[in-house]
Amino acid sequence: MKITKYVPRHMQPGFPVGNLDEALNELMGWNKGGIMRSWAPDVDIAENPDSYEIHAELPGMREEDINITLNNNVLTISGEKKREIKEEKDNFVRVERSYGKFERSFSLPNNITGDRVSANYSDGVLKVTLPKAEEAKSRTIKVSK
């Protein structure tokens, strides 16, 4: 499987920017309401002999705020990272942490055993294990006369 770096749509070369206001909002990470845009977690995907593994960085989230669905060989991880409620006396000079809803979808190969998919969340990392079907696993075939 080829390794590709995920580049959010708004950061891809040639993404259309209509006017100066939109360009400034894009640069500052604001939508029209002045609120930070939604985010997407970084994800690594590994292929093992028996399975695929997806690791998604979701620091600061709770298990109950993460949703995983598998439908027509498309795995979707979604959820919402809620902003911490702080007192107004915090005069931030810079805010880089992202909050809001996210959704990432991945087209899977046909050799996944959907009813055996499992997920666990530990130390801010979600791990989804997607077992391969028996017929898809690599095996040695003996040549006979």
Query: Over the stretch 48-65, which tens digit does the pLDDT of each residue have?
Result: 999 999 999 999 899 999
pLDDT at position 140 is 79
Evaluate whether 41 touches 104 at the Cβ level (below 8 Å). yes
Summarised one tens digit per residue, pLDDT across range 72-102 is 889 999 999 887 766 566 677 777 777 889 9
In this prediction the pTM is 0.66
Domain spans in the chain, listed from the N-terminal domain onward: 37-84+95-136
Instruction: Classify the C-alpha dihedral 54-57-59-64 as positive or negative.
Output: negative
Q: Is 124 left (phi over 0), alpha (psi -120 to 50) or beta?
A: left
Is residue 33 scored above 50 in pLDDT?
Answer: no
Is residue 8 scored above 70 in pLDDT?
Answer: no
pLDDT at position 122 is 96
Alpha-carbon distances, residue 102 vs 11, 19, 66, 68, 87 (angstroms): 16, 26, 10, 12, 26
Residues forming beta bridges with residue 44, ordered by sequence position? 55
- CATH 2.60.40.790 matches 37-84+95-136: yes
For the chain, what's the residue count?
A: 145
pLDDT at position 88 is 61
